[in-house]
Every structure is written in C-alpha cells, then in structure tokens.
Structure 1
C-alpha cells in the first residue's frame, strides 16, 4: 500500500497500519526510511517559520535553515532511536514480548503519520505567527502523535499476532 494511503488509514486505525508494517518482516532499512522521511517533512515544515523569523529579526535565512537541517536530519534521528529503545526497555520491564524493531516502527510511523499536521503547523507559524491558532495546531499534532505512538507501541509490544 502506498505510504499516503497508510497515513490516511492511520487516522482510522493506527494499530492495523503498524501491524501491517510489522507483518512485512523486520527490515531496518524500512524503519530508517520512515524515520528519514518523517524528519525530512518536519524539516520542510520549519521553512515558513524560519523565513518569518529571519524577516522580522533581520537575520540571514540560510544559517537558520542549516541549523534546522542539522537538528532534524542528523540529530533528531539519533534522539528518536534512543527514545524508541527506552520505550522498548519500558515494555520489557512490563513483561511485553515485542521487539526493539517493533518499538522503532511504532515511534517512527507515528512521526511520519502526523507529519501533515506538522506541515500545517509550519504554515500557521510562518503566516500567522505565535498565538492561539499555532498553539491549537500544536495541541492537535501532539494529540494525534500520542495516540498513534501509544496505539502502535501497544500493537508492537503486546499483540498476539
């Protein structure tokens, strides 16, 4: 199934999509591509906000984009791999039978599935700026991300399949 259909399907049932990804077999290249795609989309989502900030403060845009690139493409994946490992460790302490790969897929997929909301967040930050609208979109993203991650994590760690 194309990734765009999987993203839409995640909003209807995140556990089914994560189960389908896990049933395809443990392929670390797939998990890494999901993570890099998510981080890439989130990096692109930062552009409107950074352009607005550069314009309002008189700073150069390119160094700001370089910093966001470093953060989202090089540093965030390392942090997310660590977070997935910690979540798997927690599951193991709770006697779950899942794998570290499943924990990674659950986290990385939640990030990619919510990346369209991050694009909206970036547009609101760039065109409207700080305020209740930006906070509302951020809360919506956080809610969906939490739902997708927890549902995927439960499926990866405790599913009988």
Structure 2
C-alpha cells in the first residue's frame, strides 16, 4: 500500500492501517522517516503564513529570518519533542493497562503526525491566504481533531489489542 493511500485510509480505519504497518515490519527506521517527513511537511505548511507576516510587516524580520527560525524549530527541534511525547503517551497507556512497546507509541504518534499532514497543509494555506479569523480557527480544529483521532486510535490498536 502506498503512503498516500495509507494516509487516506487512516481517516477511515486508523487501527487497521497501523496494524498493517506492523505486519509489514515497521520499525525504528520507518518511525524516524515518518517523523522527519511530517516535520518537513509541517515546515512547508508554515511558509504561506510566514510570507504573509513578512509582507504585512515590512519593518519586522524578513521572510528569510522567519523561515530559518521555523526550520530550526520544526525540522530540527520538534522531532526531539515528539520522541518525548511518544514516551509520555506510552507511560500513560501503561497506567491504563497498555501492553505495547516503546516503539509502538512512537509509531502511533509519528504516523498520526504524517497522516494529519494534508490537513496541516490546508491549514497553512488558509493561514497564508486568508489570515486569522473563523476559517483559520475551523481548519485548525479540523486538523487537530484529525490528528487526535488517528493518534488515539493508533495507540489503542498498538497498546491495547
């Protein structure tokens, strides 16, 4: 199954998608690839809003400086934070009887980040072209809800079943 097809299928059956990834041998190398791809896509999603901000505030920092800071935070630092969040989610699942491995928690979180990236890219376009307002709030909520749906179902599939 291609990654694009798996992402689309994750919105209908996230547990089945993650189980299939495990059956095909998903390991640490695939988890790292997922989190780095998600980080790169999230960085790209920020660029329209950063361009808008640089254009609307000519006295502020330029687009290059804003994009450099976003790259540092999104691509270089965020994956480290996501590893910590995955570890914390695994510990929380252990409190509630989770039987999974540390890797399972990472796979669930990193796949949810990657699978939610189309919604995050849409949110980035709305932030860049429309700006703050109800449309941005709605797309932000939809993107976050999509991410949570995939992540929670992934955790249940890999930690409970």
Q: Any residues of structure 2 matched to 1:51-90 within 5 Å, and which? A: 51-58=51-58, 59-90=61-92
Cα distance, 1:99 vs structure 2 = 0.6
Using the alignment, how far apart are the partners of 2:24 and 2:73 within structure 1? 30
TM-score w.r.t. length of structure 2: 0.96
Corresponding residue for residue 150 of structure 1 = 152
3-state SS of paired residue (2:98) = coil
TM-score (norm 1): 0.96
Residue of structure 1 in register with 2:113 after alignment = 111
CA–CA distance in structure 2, aligned partners of residues 57 and 22 of structure 1: 48
Which residues of structure 1 form unaligned runs of 5+? none
Checking the alignment, whether the CA contact within 8 Å between 2:97 and 2:160 is kept in structure 1 is no
**Which ranges of structure 2 fall in alignment gaps of 5 or more residues?**
none
Report matched runs for 1:1-161 at 5 Å: 1-58=1-58, 59-159=61-161
The answer as to whether partners of 1:26 and 1:101 remain within 8 angstroms in 2 is no
SS at match of 2:12: coil
* Residues 109-150 of structure 1: per-residue CA shift (max 9 Å, x gap): 111111001111110000000000000000001111111000
Measure, in 1, the Cα distance between the counterparts of 2:147 and 2:111.
Answer: 10
Deviation (angstroms), 1:90: 1.0
- The Cα shift of 1:26 comes to 4.8
Contact 1:19 1:156 survives alignment (8 Å)? yes
Q: 2: CA distance between counterparts of 1:11 and 1:26?
A: 20
